[in-house]
Amino acid sequence: MLYRKLGNTGEKVSILGFGCMRFPITNVNDGSKIDKKQTFELLNHSVENGINYFDTSFVYHNKVLFSKDGGTSETVLGEFFSQNYREDVLIADKLPVWNIKEEEDFNKYLNLQLKKLKTDYVDVFLIHSLNKVHWPKMYELNVLNFLDEIKSDGRAKYVGFSFHDDLSILYPIIKSYNWDIIQTQLNYLDESYQAGVEGLKYINSKNIGTVIMEPLKGGKLVNNVPLKVQDIFQKSEINRTFAWWAFKYLYNKTEVNTVLSGMSSLKELEENISIASKSRPNTLSSNEKEIIQEVKEIYESMRGIECGNCKYCMPCPYGVDIPKCFVWYNYLLMLSIDDKEEAKNHYLEFVEPKNRASNCTQCQKCIQLCPQDINIPHELETIKNTFESTT
């Protein structure tokens, strides 16, 4: 495993971090039912192979939208690390901004999260999903004073935020406080999306630790890869996996400290560890850079709904499987299927009636949870008209 400095914290982090939002589960209809045996095997294998950054959140593996108890990711992670390796790793957790109604809630939720993690402190505590909507509210509730407090009393070593908006709000947020770490989205398709490459460089210039999320764009860059894209990758002199291209693009940048990946199987974990063990900055050849640029241009011409499959919007109170509906709609667009009926048949086969777009009531609760700012009800209406219309 290779390591890089985490901003000005003095910590060295594995360039591959473990995102704890996609643990294996025992019930496909209930994301809160984590398979602890498999998950513990993954966590143990990760640490034994040098991964030392583990990122969770109050909402990961939740069962109920806006649950006051949160998801089960923290609980399972706490159970594992309370027995193994706690001093060898950095655990990052996030404040559930959606649940914060008053200033007292800051301590209420952090203390609950520490209890679930079975620890007295977290190494990194982030304000989750800062954007134009959440930032003013958190600021008015004196969240910066709270961050000073938890660093002073030892409940958090380092503080920061995860970011889901554009540069116009990123800059003032950064200037407002002496941040330790910022988590931001980047992959070779999102160079100009949200913070993008420009934001990454700015964060790095301030000696703030950079944690990258969505390296595979919710699996889009490795699953159901269009044939036109596969043809471009085959121009490489060496046969590489789709994951190799995505991770190497990020590891090639000196501004990147660590890259999070939500790994649900030992196969995924071992491949990602293998890539991370050989990925030093500035090692992509000019030919490899050209290949990535060609691939990016092809994807740009086929863009669909920008869903990263984070599942923050789930569960829908009316049963809609939002990410799955989006997957099949993007399947139609990105694979350039000429016959819409083929995609429609796949949708009707793999998305149960109770989970289809037509069950959306336009309640709009999902909108404020989406880090990609997708107008989910509007997109579901389009999907309903595309796949469920009888005309």
- pLDDT confidence tier of residue 373, bands split at 50, 70 and 90: confident
Alpha-carbon radius of gyration of the chain: 20
Place of tokens 């590891």: 251
Cα torsion 128, 132, 133, 135: sign: positive
- Per the CB < 8 A criterion, the answer to whether 22 and 6 are in contact is no
pTM of the entire predicted model = 0.83
SS3 content of the chain, % helix, strand, coil (to 5): 40, 15, 45
Place of tokens 């143990």: 44
- Residue range 281-311, pLDDT digits in tens: 999 999 999 999 999 998 877 777 888 788 8
Strand 53-55 to 90-95 pairing: parallel
C-alpha to C-alpha distance for 69 and 86, rounded to whole angstroms: 23
- Residue range 226-260, pLDDT digits in tens: 888 999 999 998 999 999 999 999 999 999 999 99
Give the burial class of 300: count Cβ atoms within 10 A of its Cβ; 0-12 exposed, 13-18 middle, 19 or more buried. Answer: exposed
* 3-285: in CATH 3.40.50.300: no
Helix (H, G, I), strand (E, B), or coil: what is residue 95?
strand
Domain segments of the chain as ranges:
3-285, 322-387
Phi then psi for 176, rounded to 5 degrees?
-80, -15
Give pairs for 328-333: CB < 8 Å, separation 24+. Answer: 328/383, 328/387, 329/304, 329/305, 329/379, 329/382, 329/383, 329/386, 329/387, 330/220, 330/304, 330/305, 331/224, 332/304, 332/386, 333/302, 333/303, 333/304
Cα torsion 360, 363, 365, 367: sign: positive
% of residues, the chain, pLDDT over 70: 97
- Residue range 4-51, pLDDT digits in tens: 999 999 999 999 999 999 999 999 888 899 999 999 999 999 999 999
